[in-house]
Chains A and B, each alone.
Chain A
Amino acid sequence: MSEQGKNIILSVKDLEVKFKVRDRVLTAIRRISMDFEEGKVVAIVGESGSGKSVFTKTFTGMLEVNGEVSGGEIWFEGQDLTKIKKDSEWEKIRGKKIATVFQDPMTSLNPVKTIGDQISEVIIKHQGKSKTEAKKMAIEMMGKVGIKDPDKRYDEYPFMYSGGMRQRIVIAIALACRPRILICDEPTTALDVTIQAQIIRLIKDLSEEYGFTTIYITHDLGVVANVADVVAVMYAGQIIEYGNVDEIFYDSRHPYTWGLLSSLPQLGEKGEDLFAIRGTPPSLFEEVKGDAFAPRSNYAMKIDYEQEPPFFKVTDTHYAKTWLLDPRAPKVEPPAAVRELHARMQALTSKGGIYGER
């Protein structure tokens, strides 16, 4: 998938992550390779349990204690992150180079420390500033993320802030050390819709100002359509389709992507049943043979049960991992909902639509 002449900031090669769960081994990430281009907004989508979060956690060494990277490489700034064993080395990357924003702002902040302390803490730690300098920078950062009267609110506690404002503070903390990559792990799931739009806008504006690469983990395709440059669709621990946002939305090739798009509630027609992908994802405790999505796919062929499909190139930026793209495969049309997606999506994301600019 890597292309020449692009500025690659993070490169993942054949990454495999295994978890030990009650004496059994679960393969959460199955040999993913992917390049992240500097300054781009990458969205990783997929259903719960597809490995989105685990995938990005490997970039900051934040896997749970029972998990480990069992294979592959993650190259960042000339260093293979999978080789890092010591926490002290990770501390030079976490928060400083690669920052993370978590889902729930209500619990992400320490309830008994002041907002200001929690921001300047990172500045002191990573940039070695004095307390007064750090405070100045923290207040500036609070202003940047849209907190009014930041110098007055510096000494307040998280419980005095609303959810949206807390997420702004979390973003301020994440960006306080000007990281090169910001991982947003479902940053808006816990917020109500109006606040969601504001937070997404804020992250987008800041990414343009500071030029960091954003990795979104989400299952909200509306958010993806609005902010992402590149979309990676994950299923059962693998990336199964990868491309620019338009290509994924309007010219997707993988049956799973079709299923995902068809089941967007925002696209449902009144009076009709909402589409649902039948079945459940495969157990990752066992070796997955062939295409992991085959048992649930309406387009499965014999080979899907026998051999794992390779990535087929659709365009220079668009790849999909399905045998349907093999020249020998029969020609299939995506479902009607996906074909009409363009018009519907446009209605949703234009002014007045629920994901439109406000």
Chain B
Amino acid sequence: MKKYILRRILKSIVSIFAVVSIIIVMIYTMVPSEKVFDNDAGAKKMKGDQLTTYKLRKLEELGYLDFASRLEMCTATFGDDAKACQDGDEAMNAQAVEAFAAKGYEIKELKSGEQYAVHNYRWYELLWRFYSKLVVVDSKNAIQDPDNPDLEHKYYWGKNPYNGTPALLCSGCTYKYQMYFNGTFPFIHQNKFKLNFGTSFPTNQGVATTQVINDGQGSNKKISQTFETGLEEESALIQTSCQYKYLTDHLDEKRFTDHYATCRSFHESPSMVETSYILGLIALVIAYVMAIPLGISMAQHKDKAIDKIGIAYINLLIAVPSLAFIFFMRSIGTLFNLPDKFPQLGFKDIRSYIMPVLILALLQTPSLMMWLRRYMIDQSNADYVKFARAKGLSQREIFRKHILRNAIIPIVNGIPGSIILCISGALITESAFAVPGMGKMLPDAIKQTNNNMVITLVFIFTALSILSVLIGDLLMTVVDPRISLTEKGGE
């Protein structure tokens, strides 16, 4: 079993990398790089050589190519003696250009006649560049600040300033709080290992994609907190998220005794992930709570009134396009004074959630009911049910103790998937209610050619799907004794 799970995890990781690699190669080689600038306000203001250079710089930043201007070519070729070259020594310039041409760079000319070198990355270079910087490990020697020679390089134990629980702190790392505990999922937090997918562009320029997804939304939320200096203040800064800041200012010194002063902020509203997750999870619970008893009673009273009504309901919900259903439900909601757009009342008002959650839940019920009913009816024709009747068990006992247990197995398999994939949000419902959730993230990112964001989301969704299948299978072994996860041929 352990061996099997280990192999499964290994295979899962391989498949995640395969999917992400394909996506990377597709995005960087098949989508024209010009499209990156379609939504970029900066590019629209420039023209001529300035625009050309800007684009090349940006593309270099985004990982499409390696760009070297005349000055850079000089520096790269002559090192410390580059001054003369940079000042315009023609022979040296020619030599630098030649050196770059020899390295496989394309030599091009700006309108001004200045030469520059460009190297478009090939697919394996793209992949290498992506994976080599994917995992960032923080270490106590990460920060080398010449202006702060007294900086110690060590790990030590401290306290989480918010709840007093022990925390692993570091001096010399990028992040001060290496590990800490709190009451929000997943309870144990760490800053030692980070996934780096690059920064978002053109929206949220310069912000890491993971942060765009994870950070709260709306205005900053100030809470009263005590800083290391003993200063008590209403502040939005999250102390446990602080990173090393090379140049601290007066305000930082008032709060912090060290250089860890670049912190993220608390926000009024939950992040996109959280928003989608809260909605999705509540909807999921409602869907299961509704669908399971209904499916069971439909199976129990097959061909009776309740079954027929249930089938009509299932047919109706499956037949009506979900968009039509969503808008219909939304207009019903407005009759009860419920908002038709989420931001009207915002995150704090429970009424904002009612209709989106209800719609999400109802949309999930038909297939759940249908399958549960089907599985139960299939099971109720099984021989063991006949034998259970011959044993003298009542119909209710047979349903509860025998049939349900067998019928629920395939349903259980899907539960982890439903729970985990709530994160990915619900595109149509969230769009209809303008819910700031994850649902629109991927289509939006694709539309804006936000490459890093697309890759990040593909990575997250792939990983979650594979994880949910694995957990689903593991859960099956709990409910079905016949299933044991071993390699072919057993241990």
Identify 30 residue pairs between A and B in the complex whose beta-carbon atoms are under 8 Å apart, listed by A's number. A62-B390, A88-B394, A91-B392, A91-B393, A94-B389, A94-B390, A95-B391, A96-B392, A99-B391, A100-B390, A102-B387, A104-B383, A108-B383, A109-B384, A109-B387, A110-B388, A110-B402, A112-B406, A112-B479, A112-B480, A112-B481, A113-B401, A113-B402, A113-B405, A114-B481, A121-B391, A121-B401, A157-B481, A170-B387, A174-B391
The residues of B that contact A87 with a CB separation of less than 8 Å are: 394-395
The residues of B that contact A112 with a CB separation of less than 8 Å are: 405-406, 409, 479-482
Q: Are A108 and B384 in contact (CB under 8 A)?
A: yes
Q: Are B482 and A111 in contact (CB under 8 A)?
A: yes
A210 proximal to B (CB < 8 A): no
Given contacts A112-B409, A113-B401, contact A107 B392 (CB under 8 A): no
> In whole angstroms, what is the CA distance A62 to B388 when docked?
11
Q: Are B389 and A62 in contact (CB under 8 A)?
A: yes
Q: Are A125 and B397 in contact (CB under 8 A)?
A: yes
The residues of B that contact A96 with a CB separation of less than 8 Å are: 392
> In whole angstroms, what is the CA distance A50 to B482 when docked?
38
A58 proximal to B (CB < 8 A): no
Q: Are A159 and B481 in contact (CB under 8 A)?
A: yes
> In whole angstroms, what is the CA distance A108 to B402 when docked?
12
Q: Which residue of A lies closest to B393 (CB)?
A: A125
A292 proximal to B (CB < 8 A): no
> In whole angstroms, what is the CA distance A100 to B397 when docked?
18
The residues of B that contact A92 with a CB separation of less than 8 Å are: 392
Given contacts A157-B481, A159-B482, contact A111 B384 (CB under 8 A): yes
1/0 contact string of A149-187 vs chain B (CB within 8 Å):
000000001010000000000100110010000000000
B382 proximal to A (CB < 8 A): yes
A60 proximal to B (CB < 8 A): yes
The residues of A that contact B397 with a CB separation of less than 8 Å are: 125
Q: Are B392 and A125 in contact (CB under 8 A)?
A: yes
> In whole angstroms, what is the CA distance A90 to B392 when docked?
7
A181 to chain B, nearest CB (A): 12
Say which residue of A95, A102, A126, A157 sits within 8 Å of B386 (CB atoms): A102
The residues of B that contact A122 with a CB separation of less than 8 Å are: 391-393
Closest 5 CB pairs of A and B: A95-B392, A107-B383, A94-B392, A100-B390, A95-B391
Q: Which residue of A lies closest to B391 (CB)?
A: A95
Q: Which of A90-134 contact B (CB under 8 A)?
A: 90-96, 99-100, 102, 104, 107-114, 121-122, 125-126
B residues touching A (Cβ–Cβ < 8 Å)?
A: 382-384, 386-395, 397, 401-402, 405-406, 409, 479-482
The residues of A that contact B391 with a CB separation of less than 8 Å are: 94-95, 99, 121-122, 125, 173-174
The residues of A that contact B383 with a CB separation of less than 8 Å are: 102, 104, 107-108
Instruction: With A108-B387, A159-B481 given, name 18 new contacts (CB 8 A).
Output: A87-B395, A90-B392, A94-B389, A96-B392, A102-B390, A108-B383, A109-B384, A111-B406, A112-B406, A112-B479, A112-B481, A113-B401, A113-B405, A122-B392, A126-B392, A157-B481, A157-B482, A174-B390
> In whole angstroms, what is the CA distance A173 to B390 when docked?
10
> In whole angstroms, what is the CA distance A174 to B388 when docked?
10
> In whole angstroms, what is the CA distance A99 to B390 when docked?
6
Q: Contact size class for A?
A: 20 to 34
> In whole angstroms, what is the CA distance A100 to B387 when docked?
8
Given contacts A87-B395, A109-B384, A113-B402, contact A60 B480 (CB under 8 A): no
Q: Are A107 and B384 in contact (CB under 8 A)?
A: yes
Q: Which residue of B lies closest to A119 (CB)?
A: B391
Q: Which residue of A lies closest to B479 (CB)?
A: A112
B377 to chain A, nearest CB (A): 13
Q: Are A62 and B394 in contact (CB under 8 A)?
A: no
Q: Which residue of B lies closest to A88 (CB)?
A: B394
Q: Which of A200-214 contact B (CB under 8 A)?
A: none
The residues of B that contact A111 with a CB separation of less than 8 Å are: 384, 406, 481-482
> In whole angstroms, what is the CA distance A123 to B406 when docked?
22
Q: Which of A235-255 contact B (CB under 8 A)?
A: none
A64 to chain B, nearest CB (A): 10
A40 to chain B, nearest CB (A): 21
> In whole angstroms, what is the CA distance A177 to B390 when docked?
12
B412 to chain A, nearest CB (A): 11
The residues of B that contact A102 with a CB separation of less than 8 Å are: 383, 386-387, 390
Q: Are A110 and B406 in contact (CB under 8 A)?
A: yes
> In whole angstroms, what is the CA distance A112 to B391 when docked?
17
Q: Which residue of B lies closest to A91 (CB)?
A: B392
The residues of B that contact A113 with a CB separation of less than 8 Å are: 401-402, 405
Q: Which residue of B lies closest to A61 (CB)?
A: B389
B426 to chain A, nearest CB (A): 34
B479 to chain A, nearest CB (A): 7
The residues of B that contact A91 with a CB separation of less than 8 Å are: 392-394
The residues of A that contact B481 with a CB separation of less than 8 Å are: 111-112, 114, 157, 159
B424 to chain A, nearest CB (A): 32
> In whole angstroms, what is the CA distance A102 to B322 when docked?
48
The residues of B that contact A62 with a CB separation of less than 8 Å are: 386, 389-390
The residues of A that contact B384 with a CB separation of less than 8 Å are: 107-111
Q: Which residue of A lies closest to B388 (CB)?
A: A110
The residues of A that contact B406 with a CB separation of less than 8 Å are: 110-112
> In whole angstroms, what is the CA distance A39 to B401 when docked?
34
> In whole angstroms, what is the CA distance A88 to B394 when docked?
7
A161 to chain B, nearest CB (A): 12
Q: Are B390 and A95 in contact (CB under 8 A)?
A: yes
1/0 contact string of A67-104 vs chain B (CB within 8 Å):
00000000000000000000110111111100110101
B382, B383, B406 pick with most chain A CB within 10 angstroms: B383
> In whole angstroms, what is the CA distance A71 to B471 when docked?
57
> In whole angstroms, what is the CA distance A108 to B382 when docked?
8
> In whole angstroms, what is the CA distance A187 to B387 when docked?
13
Q: Are A110 and B392 in contact (CB under 8 A)?
A: no
1/0 contact string of A51-68 vs chain B (CB within 8 Å):
000000000101000000
The residues of A that contact B389 with a CB separation of less than 8 Å are: 62, 94
> In whole angstroms, what is the CA distance A62 to B390 when docked?
7
The residues of B that contact A110 with a CB separation of less than 8 Å are: 384, 388, 402, 405-406
> In whole angstroms, what is the CA distance A286 to B406 when docked?
41
The residues of A that contact B480 with a CB separation of less than 8 Å are: 112
The residues of B that contact A108 with a CB separation of less than 8 Å are: 383-384, 386-387
> In whole angstroms, what is the CA distance A62 to B397 when docked?
16
Q: Which residue of B lies closest to A92 (CB)?
A: B392
The residues of A that contact B402 with a CB separation of less than 8 Å are: 110, 113
Q: Are A93 and B392 in contact (CB under 8 A)?
A: yes
The residues of B that contact A60 with a CB separation of less than 8 Å are: 390
